[in-house]
Amino acid sequence: MGEKFDYRSAPDPAMMGDPSGPEPSRRGFLFWIGAALNTVAALLIAIPVVGYLFSPWKKGAWQKWTDLGSTEQFPKGQTRLATYVNPFRTPWDGYTAETPCWVRREDSGDFTVFAVNCTHLGCPVRWFPESNLFMCPCHGGVYYADGSHAAGPPPRGLYTYEVRVKGNSLQVKAGRLPTLQESV
Ligand code: FES
C-alpha cells in the first residue's frame, strides 16, 4: 500500500514566492504583509529596549564641560546663583536653555554645584544666607548648606554636578541635569 498523501503538510506554492509557480494568492499576499508589519513592530519595540540595555556604556553622552564663569565670582564661604547655557540647546529652546544652578565655595576653596531643582517634585529651591539653608517654596522642603536633606518631603539631598576648575574658570558637566545616576 502506498504512503497516504497529507495535503496539510504540502507547501502552498503561493506562499513560496516561486516565480514559475502560479500567481500569488490573496492569502499569500496577506501573509507577507503581515510578516513585514510584525517585523517592523518588533524592530520598533527592540530599539528602546536595546538603547536601555546599552545606556550604561553611553554614560557621559549628552554631557559637556561648560563654563560657569571665573572662580573669582564665587567668594569663599558663600553660595551664589550661576547660570549656564545648555551645550546641547536647539534654536527653539529660547530662554529655557539657560540653566540656573547654585555654586557653593567652601572656605577651603573647594566647589560644590547643586542643581536648583528640589528632589521632591522639581521646584527651584532658593538659598537663604540668613539661615544657611536652601528652601523649596512648593511644599516646604529644606536642605542644609551642603545640600543634604534637612526637613520636609524631599526624599534626599540636592543633586550635584561634576565640577572642575580649568585655568581660572569654574566648569560643570552640563547637558543632562544631574539625577541619582549622574549625581556624584
Ligand atoms: S517640590 Fe520641593 S518640597 Fe515639593
Question: Domain with 95 in it: what CATH number?
Answer: 2.102.10.10
Instruction: Decide which of 18 and 49 is more confident.
Output: 49
Query: Quick check: 68 and 172 in contact, CB under 8 A?
Result: yes
Flag whether the pTM goes above 0.85. Answer: no
Q: Which atom of ligand 1 is nearest to the CA of 122?
A: 1
Tens-digit pLDDT profile for residues 91-133: 888 888 899 999 999 999 999 999 999 999 999 999 999 999 9
Grid coordinates given for 109: 576653596
Q: How many domains does the chain have?
A: 1
Grid coordinates given for 33: 504583509
Q: Is 50 domain-assigned?
A: no
> What is the number of other CB atoms lying within 10 angstroms of the CB of residue 76?
10
CA of 96 relative to ligand 1 center, distance in Å: 21
Tens-digit pLDDT profile for residues 48-91: 888 877 766 666 667 889 999 999 999 999 999 999 999 888 88
> Which residue out of 134, 139, 149 has the highest number of ligand 1 atoms within 8 Å of its CB and is therefore the one to mutate?
139
Instruction: Decide which of 168 and 16 is more confident.
Output: 168
Where do we find the cell 539653608? 133
Q: Is 7 domain-assigned?
A: no
Domain boundaries, position 134:
65-175
Q: Is 21 domain-assigned?
A: no
Q: Hey, what amino acid is at 153? A: P
pLDDT cut 70: percent of the chain above it: 80
C-alpha span between 105 and 160 (Å, rounded): 13
Q: Which atom of ligand 1 is nearest to the CA of 140?
A: 3
Decide the pairing of beta strands 149-151 and 78-85.
unpaired
Q: Is 2 domain-assigned?
A: no
What residues does ligand 1 touch, defined as CB less than 6 Å away?
118, 120-121, 123, 136, 138-141, 152-154
Averaged pLDDT for residues 129-153: 96
Q: Is 137 domain-assigned?
A: yes
Q: Is 164 domain-assigned?
A: yes
